[in-house]
Structure 1
Amino acid sequence: MSSPETQVHRPLRILDLFAGPGGLDVAAHFLDLPSIGIEWDRNACETRYAAGLPTIHADVSVMRESRFDEIPTSVDVLAGGPPCQSFSVAGKGAGRRALDTVKEFIHRLVDGEDEAKIDEDLHALGDPRTALVLEPLRWLLKAIETEGRDPYKVIVLEQVPAALPLWQVYAKLLRGGEGRLQGVKYEADCWELKTEQFGVPQTRTRAVLVARLPGEGAIEPLEATHLPFDLHRGKRRAAQADMLPTDAALPATRRRWLSMAEALDVASAREGSPVDVSRLRTGGRTKFFVVSNYGSGGDPKNRGRRLSSEPAFTVTGKISRNKVYRNLGEYEAGRSDRFTIPESGVLQTFPHNFPWSGNDQAQQVGNAVPPRLGMHVLARAVRGDTPSEEELAAATTWPVVPASTTDELRAIGCGDQSRCPPDSHKVTRSPRTSAP
């Protein structure tokens, strides 16, 4: 595996749309697949520069429309997770209500309808983020229709579960190769994946699409490495709980899900780690419980709780609002703690020392794809296998990136700032530390 510094100068293979702070790019790094990301949020770009991840600070649509020629021709994997807020159950749901309409837009794009008219109708939906789910398809069509470009060999997309019907439409059209696809056909499939079943210490479900050109065999579903977490465990009667399998009875190929305490303990034990859970230890054990920022069943007074011996709630941009208590005494006294940004990142399976930078770091963490899940998805899509134990073990620590590399990447990604998203550099950058 090469370092982030050397990957800057290697032929790029993966284009990560809506790249955020780098969930998929971190996964690609540990699989030795050089990538470049497009990201409009300046703060997320600062994290990416600090981590040594090649980045273009730009709007995905603008890049496609007017700067497509800047994407290296070596890129043969198109990946991305379009903004999910309008589809998310935590949002207002404009995307969920418009699912059938968005399906029609997908067909209209492939059928060759005038894109100006399509853009006008998309604007009428109200939430501009809903339209972004079409961008990966538009990037594929652009590659097919641009002279000197080849269709992407592999496509990897992820979103909240509510978007699965859209991925199913994508998959059907990619398999058909009709209209503007010009006979280009893919093997394609999509699934709902639970993150805790892939070693991520949180419960989070994602809709994932994988497509690739024929010749590499059929796409096989991902094989879970861990058991699912029982979200309804508190409602089970004691007699039912006794019937659940013990660790000794688990299948040899599937382990129990990973808990918050286990993940944080490992990160805290790393030399020089910014994660320090000593404040959460009682009697030599990391022991606490978390009260969620979200109300259960829509009732803010009935907020969910998780024990440290269980996976975390879905890590969102509001994770810093979750309250952490060591015991009931602290809860009754109102003395709560909070997860730090590095701790929140670990619950997302970012390396313990990942160099979070810029502002809105909690939002950056929450918006990211869990890198460990990304490793499983990319390995299956690009290589047709699963990450090795050595690759997964290496993914817990991020290589130190020299400040010169960060500066070089910022110069490449932002240049004179004239082509960055309007007004994005008016926000004051938070100071960061890095190796000389």
Structure 2
Amino acid sequence: MNLEAHACHFDGVRILDLFAGPGGLDVAAHFLKFKSIGIELDQNACETRYAAGLPTIHADVRVMRETRFDEIPKSVDVLAGGPPCQSFSVAGNGAGRRALDTVKQFIHRLVSGENEATIDEDLLALGDPRTALVLEPLRWLLKAIETNGRNPYEVIVLEQVPAVLPLWEVYAKLLRGGEGKLEGVKYEAECWELKTEQFGVPQTRTRAVLVARLAGQGAIEPIRATHLPFDLYRGKRDAAQPDVLLTDCAIPGAKQRWISMAGALDAASRLEDSPVDVSRFRAGDKTEFFVVSNYGSGGDPKKRGRRLSSEPAFTVTGKISRNKIYRSIAEYEANRSDRFTIPESGVLQTFPHNFPWSGKDQAQQVGNAVPPRLGMHVLSTALHGRPPSDEELMAANSWPSVSEAISEELRHLGCGDQSQCPPESHKITRLRRSPAP
């Protein structure tokens, strides 16, 4: 990589986003006025990032740490990331959940200074190789501590599915202790389970979050919810008056009600040149529909969960394009369904309405991302010691346009001649020759 040729994209970069995906944390950083660079393995997610103007290195985080660490700008002082969750998620194979106690031991082994080649060999026994990726943030921190000319990261921000919270708690304890390979490097560290609907995200999704900051910079404040949890109201869905779901949010300091699918999509559809069009769900002056989850209960489609348009969405996953949407019971009985578009799915993840989704497998990209609005609350608390301002949150509704020239520069930065990209990640397509004149 030619760093000098891309100096403008590295100037002032503070945040390194491991496992960056299409850019949930990078989008959050942008609206908080922080520059970031992401490492991402999936070429499709990289294409979205290039189109959005997000500096990216198309690479495996392990390869970057082992052989290309010097390419990370020295201005980076914030380590962030959400390791792949498939082996820990309840929707995955469960290998990570079954191996929690073993992974805790690996965390201690890394900090104690045990030979990493031995650790790597033992990690192979975990079965699903993605399980070991939850150790990467710690290995990146240790690499920074051990590398001449580098400083320990000032701030660390990590997120994962709730099953990983016990691992974040082990991380936090070791970061506070400053022992072993962390000797002399101590952090204030806290971790929590956060419900996304309590931060203005129009979906129910729980995340395990860790925030650590070098000791001496003050205690870490809790990440304070701004909205009410949806769980309190599940039993009132069928009430005759929907207003019973609205608590007295006019009281100063009271939390707002959670954001509904209809509320988020309506707001996005009213923005200039919006690709979100909910007119197909209009019933008079209201947007009304219900969503039937792609996930069944015991294989019985009739037992699949439902959400009303007046409620938050289910957790947005890579299968969101399979969720069926009905405007009425009559449509449901006639099996006449609709689907969310990619821009609509992105809005339910709190990406800007005009975010330039690109590449293939876009539904998977959307589902894999950190909701930017949650990211803004976490990053702002970690870096500013306060929640994001109303102005910052309002600005996050629209994404600035990016020229093709900038996207091409970033593509060259991220992929270059493709020789350092992950093997077989770029399919070579032979160009058809034009017929002879």
- TM-score, with structure 2 as normaliser: 0.93
In structure 2, the partner of 1:177 is 178
In structure 1, the partner of 2:22 is 21
Q: Distance in 2 between matches of 1:348 and 1:81?
A: 15
Report deviation, 1:249: 7.4
The answer to whether 1:218 aligns with 2:219 is yes
Letter paired with 1:80: G
Q: Distance in 1 between matches of 2:236 and 2:98?
A: 31
Q: Distance in 1 between matches of 2:148 and 2:100?
A: 33
What is the DSSP-based 3-state SS (H/G/I as helix, E as strand, rest coil) of the residue aligned with 1:124?
helix
What is the DSSP-based 3-state SS (H/G/I as helix, E as strand, rest coil) of the residue aligned with 1:344?
helix
In structure 2, the partner of 1:434 is none
Q: Distance in 1 between matches of 2:206 and 2:164?
A: 11
Letter paired with 2:130: R
Report deviation, 1:245: 6.8
Distance 1:248 1:194, change over 3 A: closer
Distance 1:6 1:66, change over 3 A: closer
1:209-288 alignment, distance < 5 Å? 209-230=210-231, 233-234=234-235, 246-247=247-248, 252-288=253-289
In structure 1, the partner of 2:201 is 200
Report deviation, 1:251: 6.4
Letter paired with 1:275: V
Report deviation, 1:11: 1.6
1:385-396 alignment, distance < 5 Å? 385-396=386-397
In structure 1, the partner of 2:435 is none
Aligned residues of 2:204 and 2:312 also touching (Cα < 8 A): yes
Q: Distance in 2 between matches of 1:169 and 1:183?
A: 18
The answer to whether 1:87 aligns with 2:78 is no
Report deviation, 1:295: 2.0
Distance 1:148 1:9, change over 3 A: closer
Report deviation, 1:248: 5.2
Distance 1:101 1:375, change over 3 A: same
Letter paired with 1:400: S
What is the DSSP-based 3-state SS (H/G/I as helix, E as strand, rest coil) of the residue aligned with 1:295?
coil
In structure 1, the partner of 2:99 is 98
The answer to whether 1:190 aligns with 2:171 is no
In structure 2, the partner of 1:320 is 321
Letter paired with 2:118: K
Further displaced range: 147-156 or 117-126:
117-126
What is the DSSP-based 3-state SS (H/G/I as helix, E as strand, rest coil) of the residue aligned with 1:136?
helix
What is the DSSP-based 3-state SS (H/G/I as helix, E as strand, rest coil) of the residue aligned with 1:261?
helix
Q: Distance in 2 between matches of 1:198 and 1:7?
A: 33
Aligned residues of 1:7 and 1:34 also touching (Cα < 8 A): no
In structure 1, the partner of 2:434 is none
The answer to whether 1:131 aligns with 2:132 is yes
Letter paired with 2:61: V
Distance 1:162 1:328, change over 3 A: same
In structure 1, the partner of 2:64 is 63
Q: Write the deviation string for residues 179-206 of structure 1: whole angstroms up to 9, x where unpaired.
A: 0112200000000000000000000000
Aligned residues of 2:249 and 2:257 also touching (Cα < 8 A): no
Q: Distance in 2 between matches of 1:298 and 1:225?
A: 37
Letter paired with 1:118: I
Aligned residues of 2:236 and 2:245 also touching (Cα < 8 A): no
In structure 1, the partner of 2:424 is 423
Distance 1:287 1:238, change over 3 A: closer
Q: Write the deviation string for residues 391-410 of structure 1: whole angstroms up to 9, x where unpaired.
A: 00000000000100000000
Further displaced range: 290-299 or 221-230:
290-299
What is the DSSP-based 3-state SS (H/G/I as helix, E as strand, rest coil) of the residue aligned with 2:294?
strand
Letter paired with 1:396: N
Q: Write the deviation string for residues 1-22 of structure 1: whole angstroms up to 9, x where unpaired.
A: xxxx997353200000000000
Q: Distance in 2 between matches of 1:231 and 1:118?
A: 45
In structure 2, the partner of 1:32 is 33
What is the DSSP-based 3-state SS (H/G/I as helix, E as strand, rest coil) of the residue aligned with 1:35?
strand
Q: Distance in 2 between matches of 1:92 and 1:251?
A: 46
The answer to whether 1:73 aligns with 2:71 is no
Distance 1:6 1:347, change over 3 A: farther
Distance 1:158 1:127, change over 3 A: same
Distance 1:9 1:269, change over 3 A: same
Q: Distance in 1 between matches of 2:246 and 2:392?
A: 30
Letter paired with 1:206: R
Letter paired with 1:277: V
Q: Distance in 2 between matches of 1:248 and 1:80?
A: 34
Report deviation, 1:426: 1.1
Aligned residues of 1:247 and 1:256 also touching (Cα < 8 A): no
Aligned residues of 1:349 and 1:370 also touching (Cα < 8 A): yes
In structure 2, the partner of 1:147 is 148
In structure 2, the partner of 1:403 is 404
Q: Distance in 1 between matches of 2:95 and 2:251?
A: 41
In structure 1, the partner of 2:348 is 347
Report deviation, 1:300: 4.5
Report deviation, 1:271: 1.2
Report deviation, 1:304: 0.3
Q: Distance in 2 between matches of 1:110 and 1:254?
A: 41
Distance 1:291 1:139, change over 3 A: same
Q: Write the deviation string for residues 51-102 of structure 1: whole angstroms up to 9, x where unpaired.
A: 0000000000000000000000000000000000000011111100000000
Aligned residues of 1:267 and 1:275 also touching (Cα < 8 A): yes
In structure 1, the partner of 2:374 is 373
Q: Distance in 1 between matches of 2:213 and 2:373?
A: 21
Q: Distance in 2 between matches of 1:400 and 1:21?
A: 16
- TM-score, with structure 1 as normaliser: 0.93
Report sequence identity in percent: 80
CA-based RMSD: 2.1
- Corresponding residue pairs, total: 423
Q: Unaligned regions of 5+ residues in structure 1, if any? A: 429-436
Q: Distance in 2 between matches of 1:242 and 1:270?
A: 27
Q: Distance in 2 between matches of 1:113 and 1:232?
A: 50
What is the DSSP-based 3-state SS (H/G/I as helix, E as strand, rest coil) of the residue aligned with 2:377?
helix
Deviating above 3 A after TM superposition, structure 1's stretches of 4 or more consecutive aligned residues are 234-239, 241-245, 247-253, 296-301
Aligned residues of 2:307 and 2:314 also touching (Cα < 8 A): yes
Report deviation, 1:338: 0.1
Distance 1:18 1:242, change over 3 A: closer
Q: Unaligned regions of 5+ residues in structure 2, if any? A: 1-5, 430-437
